[in-house]
A and B are shown apart, each in its own frame.
Chain A
Amino acid sequence: QKEVEQDPGPLSVPEGAIVSLNCTYSNSAFQYFMWYRQYSRKGPELLMYTYSSGNKEDGRFTAQVDKSSKYISLFIRDSQPSDSATYLCAMKKTGGSNYKLTFGKGTLLTVNP
């Protein structure tokens, strides 16, 4: 079993829809939870991150972490065609190995105009 599991999709939604992306993880040592967006043939870029449990909102994006369930989510409101990309969840520990990111497979999202 991989440390981080993510449904690869693909996910196709109409413009304006609410999108829900999710990851589960098995290692309770993860403390930072991140969402990266990767456009085709580009490197990943950090969208937002959460430390430990809770919610964080940034514009149309909301990240949620439920450490008791080892489950994280990213919600995109009023989705736009420009949101079409692969969304990767990533996690890292604190302390000695706080430099290494562990990624999910990524979910390919297409927002149709």
Chain B
Amino acid sequence: DTGVSQDPRHKITKRGQNVTFRCDPISEHNRLYWYRQTLGQGPEFLTYFQNEAQLEKSRLLSDRFSAERPKGSFSTLEIQRTEQGDSAMYLCASSLAQTGVNEQFFGPGTRLTVL
């Protein structure tokens, strides 16, 4: 399978704990995106990388959230001191950097539950 993969698929944690998610994009894609989707809502943009550079962070991404993409390959999203409001599906997507529709391919997501 050469699509976007995410790990873990599910994570249950207690409030106050730190969690880290991993995303492996499609190998030739140089753009990588993180979105958050809560129940009954569409995905909301969190952040975006072109190669290893993080070029935008949404206001939704508080200082408890940090994302990295070392060497422009896989990416990690870490949430420190988790809160119940962080419970959501965290989606990763990747694309080529090109003009036009620049289709984003989504992974299956990591579902986070904070107790």
Chain B neighbourhood of A43, CB < 8 A: 4, 91, 93, 106-109
* Stretch from A14-22, A65-73, A99-107 forming part of the interface with B: A99-107
Chain B interface extent, by class: 20 to 34
Q: Which of A97, A99, A105 has the most CB of B within 10 A?
A: A99
B102 touches A100 (CB 8 A): no
A34–B43 Cα gap in the complex (Å)? 14
Shortest distance between the CB of B9 and any CB in chain A (Å):
9
Contacts of A97 in B (CB 8 A): 56
Q: Is A61 an interface residue (CB 8 A)?
A: no
State the CA gap A2–B9 with chains docked (Å): 29
Partner of B45, one of A41, A44, A102, A105: A102
Taking CB atoms, residues of chain B closer than 8 Å to A8 are 40
Q: Which of B55, B99, B101 contacts A34 (CB 8 A)?
A: B101
Do A45 and B106 touch (CB < 8 A)? yes
1/0 per residue A1-45: CB within 8 Å of B?
000101010000000000000000000000010100000011111
Which A residues are CB-close (under 8 A) to B99? 98
The answer to the question of B104 belonging to the interface, with a C-beta cut-off of 8 Å to chain A, is yes
- 25 A-B contact pairs sorted by A residue (CB < 8 Å): A4-B42, A34-B101, A41-B108, A41-B111, A42-B108, A42-B109, A43-B4, A44-B91, A44-B106, A45-B106, A46-B105, A49-B103, A51-B101, A88-B42, A90-B42, A99-B48, A99-B95, A99-B102, A100-B56, A101-B35, A101-B104, A104-B42, A105-B40, A105-B41, A106-B42
